[in-house]
Every structure is written in C-alpha cells, then in structure tokens.
C-alpha cells in the first residue's frame, strides 16, 4: 500500500507539471496523465524549435539524435 501511495503521489505531481489549463487537470485519469506525459516527453526529445521565431519544429538529426539515444 505504501508503494502504491508513493506512485499515486508521483502521478499527481506529474499531472501538475503538464501544460494544461487548471480546470482540466483534476479530470484526468492516471492513464491520461501518463499518456500525455509520454507525448510531451517525445515531442520535447525529438523536436527542436525552427531557426526563426514561429517556424515549424524540426526533427533532431545526426549527433543530437545519437546523444539522445545514448542517454536513454
């Protein structure tokens, strides 16, 4: 039970870090929180901002991608 309580506390903390409106966060289930956290992590890890402001995101390539894979 203590381990489950610890996991639930971590999921609640993760939910509070998601860039969502305050009113939406309490309605998310634990599975939704985990899915959204994975999506935001993948987006942040695999994409980088374009060269100019407002430009579309670009996929990582070459050494950046190799460093990411090595760190995983």
Q: What is the pLDDT of residues 22-71, one digit of tens each?
A: 888 888 899 988 888 887 777 766 655 555 555 555 555 566 656 655 55
Q: Residue 5 pLDDT more than 80?
A: yes
The pLDDT, as a whole number, for residue 68 is 57
- Which residue has better confidence, 5 or 23? 5
Dmax over CA atoms of the chain, in Å, equals: 50
Domain ranges of the chain: 1-71
pLDDT at res. 59: 55
CA distances from 8 to 3, 5, 30, 69 (A): 9, 5, 8, 29
Q: What is the pLDDT of residue 18?
A: 82
Q: Is the pTM of this model over 0.75?
A: no
Contact, 3 vs 11, CB < 8 A? no
């Amino acid at each position: 039970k203590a381990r489950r309580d610890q996991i639930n506390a971590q999921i609640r903390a993760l939910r509070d870090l998601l860039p969502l409106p305050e009113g939406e966060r309490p309605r998310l289930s634990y599975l939704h929180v985990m899915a959204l956290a994975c999506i935001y992590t993948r987006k942040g890890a695999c994409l980088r901002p374009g060269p100019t402001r407002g430009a579309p995101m670009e996929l990582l390539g070459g050494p950046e991608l190799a460093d990411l894979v090595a760190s995983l």
